[in-house]
Structure 1
Amino acid sequence: MSTTKHGPVLLILFAALMAGAGNGISMIAFPWLVLQRSGSALDASIVAMAGTLPLLVATLIAGAAVDYLGRRRVSMISDALSALSVAAVPVIALTFGVDAVNVAVLAALAALGAFFDPAGMTARETMLPEAAGRAGWTLDHANSVYEATFNLAYIVGPGIGGLLIATLGGVNTMWVTAAAFVLSIGAISVLRVLKLEGAGRPDSDNLPSNVWAGVKEGLSFVWKSKVLRVLAVVDLTATGLYMPMESVLFPKYFTDRNQPAQLGWVLMALSIGGLVGALGYAVMSKYMKRRTTMLIALLTLGIAMTTIAFLPPLPVILVLCAVVGFVYGPIAPIYNYVMQTHAPQRLRGRVVGVMGSLAYAAGPLGLIIAGPLADTAGLEKTFFALSLPMLVLGVVALFLPALRGLDDPPPAKDVI
């Protein structure tokens, strides 16, 4: 295997693995620290929401920043700032005492970290088509492996997170999170040596006059594309229904039972299923239409989440979470493919940023509802409140003609 040929795509995949693992550890460590202190699902929702609200604005700006400042540079800056935000947890504990790491501090740091993460993710995704082209990979193959790598990160992250919390404690676990982001920075820095096309500072002729102008240009492009517009709404709805289950309901369920390792297993099951589903998409894409894959995924998600709402024994929950991950695995590669092929190269960062921000828009609303509802009505009713609308979404998607555009030839003329 040629280092020059395959080096860029492998470095991007490694960076995604490390940054994803860091986020995976944070995903279990932040709610655990909160629930360990107060036991309140509302407090966990506040911290989860603090880690979600900035994503809407940050992802919107991130796409324009990536196109404006350069993809490699933005990825490295983003990971550096994310590393500092999580390392601040043990630094504050060492300086002011563990009691200083309260809900307000955790919410602020979660918000800070979330504000930087989208830029790194957007930068890596927008470098992928050029890296795949150099390696001789198709976009479907590259996106399949990329999303499988990201799911692998969320197998490694929560699993390590659960073990580290059990052995080192939640505060010291954040050192590992910071180290993962540093490794991501190192991988992306090597792209300069390999001279990946499109990774550096963009041509001045293609720059927006400012970041806000770039945001508006990205919004306009997405709005005029029917398939991108409808896909964004579908993903927005699915994200808003799914995110509270992973960020609040499962942590609450297992914290009440003092079972951090079991929480890690559940999150790992979701990611193992996602890993297999994303890798399987490379094969499925040769035999199934993208629309068919998407519809099967949405309908199965609704059925599996509704079954989880009955809170069956742990082995059943693990199997259902693996199913959820498996059917959700192909969605992200399809989503990435449509963005990469419908947006011209010069606008790719802006379009990815806009689509990502729309996907996060419903998250805070779901978290606002889920936390108080879990404290007052109980976990089972809250699970049902999220799963039944997911079933409805799957049925509605059957009748959305715009999703047939998932299988149309790409309209962009300057796509790699």
Structure 2
Amino acid sequence: MAVASSAIILDHRRLPVTTDTATITRRRTPLVLVNLAALLSATGNGITIVALPWLVLEQTGRATDAGIVAGAATLPLLLASLFSGTVIDRFGRRLTSLVSDSLSAVSVAAIPILAATVGLSVPLIALLAAIGAVFDPAGIAARESMLPAAAAEAGWSLDRSNSVYEATYSTAYLIGPGVGGMLIAITGAVDTLWVTAGCFALSIATIALLRLDGSGKPDPETRPTSIWSGTLEGVKFVWRSRLLRTIALVDMALVALYMPVEGVLYPAYFTELGKPAHLGWVLAAMSVGGVIGALAYGALAAVAKRRTLMLLAVGGLGICMVGMAFLPPIWLTLTLAFLIGLVFGPVGPIANYAMQTLSPEHMRGRVVGVMTSSAYAAGPLGYLAAGPLIDAFGIRPTFFALAIPVVVISLVCFALPALRDLDLPQKA
């Protein structure tokens, strides 16, 4: 919340002298609440990223098992995120966020409860991870769909509001993994998951306070007639937009190649070294860079082209991943992680801007859901491939096998004409 609050304080817009403090608070409260809920929910997920692989590695010591659990937590996200947008456009953004976080809290709390009663096994952990993952996309997409209306009430531009929102998410993944690593060292991976459940509960309380136009039950005339038909409309809309289609395809490739680094490679590497806190440090360094990069986007958008920032992000990711593949000393690994977050920070706000300006209001949930599911589609393949590769060839060769294709993708992006559409005037 500190990031969101400080950014709001720094708003230098001239307000009418007759505007009182209560009016200002009412206008900005929705934006603060949306960001705070995102911070709390994402912090819980950030803790889980560290806790679940560590829990499995403590039990079996096999990277393949960690990959199975990571894949199980990601595989349901494909269908869940694909249909989540239609659920939002059909039942409403606020209600969807509340139900999503409630179900996520219950599924996460089940892990320590079962650990204390019947015991845990890899298949059971994978099942609980899969169940918990089903509910996350709807909540994420619901909050993101509320952002334009909240920004309008605050009088903020889309670029500025997206900048703060993505910085909030990066802050959450700074807090979550760092706290997760420390809690694992102090209390163990199982009890650490109680904190995740608590984060979801606080997010629920935050959204319960939210009152925002467009967040309630949608107009019957614009609601999708069914989950299937609504989802199909969203898929067609995204595919027919060459910019959204290109962003989705590039994102799929990058997720498949990078996510195993956080979810499998580094957990396996630091498990071998017996240094759980180092995993939290690496993810935290990346999040610090992401906070700075996302916040900087609010200013950079006025002077730099969005396409240029996108190309810098993808190229920087490839170069830094190659450097990480050498498994350098921890200080250099932290530097590279910070740089990844820094150059990639503007990508989230840029993608949000494209979705917000190209999608009709009544279809925004579906567009966000489809775009999100395109990234989740590649995640399980990356996770499931990384574990066996590590067991067969080792961590360093697997790292290079993932890093080099990212460099190739960055070169391809320079030749993609669709990315030039990022700098065309759009109607929000």
**Normalization by structure 1: what TM-score?**
0.96
* Unmatched segments (≥5 aa) in structure 2: 1-20
Q: 2:383 pairs with 341, 361, 367, which one?
A: 367
Output the CA distance in 2 between the equivalents of 1:293 and 1:16.
24
Q: How far apart are 1:335 and its partner, in Å? A: 0.5
Partner residue in 2 for 1:124: 143
Distance of 1:240 and 1:334 partners within structure 2:
20
Render the CA deviation track for 1:10-68: whole Å, top value 9, x for unaligned. 00000000000000000000000000111111000000000110111000010000000
The match for 2:303 is: 287
- The reply on whether 1:187 has 2:209 as its aligned counterpart is no
Give yes or no for the alignment of 1:66 onto 2:82: no
The count of aligned residue pairs is 406
Q: CA deviation at 1:106?
A: 1.1
Which residues of 2 match residues 139-158 of structure 1 at below 5 A? Answer: 139-158=158-177
Paired residue secondary structure (1:206): coil
Secondary structure of the structure 2 residue equivalent to 1:256: helix
Q: What's the secondary structure of 1:204's corresponding residue?
A: coil
Which segment is superposed worse, 359-368 or 49-58? 359-368
Please state how far the C-alpha of 1:410 moved relative to its aligned partner: 2.0
Shift in Å, 1:149: 0.3
**Aligned positions of 1:400-415 closer than 5 A:** 400-410=416-426, 415=428
* Residues 8 and 131, structure 1, Cα contact 8 Å, conserved in 2: yes
In structure 1, the partner of 2:257 is 241
- For residues 349 and 407 of structure 2, what CA distance do their matches in structure 1 show? 22
CA displacement at 1:359 relative to structure 2: 1.2
Alignment of 1:15-414 (within 5 A): 15-96=37-118, 100-191=119-210, 194=211, 196-410=212-426
Cα separation, 1, equivalents of 2:72 and 2:186: 27
Residue 25 (structure 2) pairs with residue 3 (structure 1): yes
Contact 1:17-1:149 within 8 A present in 2 as well? yes
- Give the AA of the match of 2:163: S
Given that 1:39 and 1:256 are in contact with CA atoms closer than 8 Å, whether structure 2 keeps it comes out as no
Q: Residue type of the partner of 1:190?
A: L
Q: Tell me, which stretches of 5 or more residues in structure 1 are unaligned?
A: none
d(CA) in 2 for partners of 1:404, 1:93: 52
- Within 2, Cα distance between the matches of 1:328 and 1:249? 20
- Give the Cα–Cα distance (whole angstroms) in 2 for the partners of residues 178 and 167 of structure 1: 18
Q: Distance in 1 between matches of 2:265 and 2:400?
A: 11
Identity of aligned residues (%): 54
TM-score under structure 2 length normalisation: 0.94
Q: Which whole-Å CA distance do the structure 2 matches of 1:170 and 1:20 have between them?
A: 18
Return the offset for 1:274: 0.7
Aligned counterparts of 1:406 and 1:109: Cα–Cα separation in 2:
39
Instruction: Give the CA deviation at 1:3.
Output: 2.1
Deviation at 1:93, TM superposition (A): 1.5
Residue type of the partner of 2:116?
L
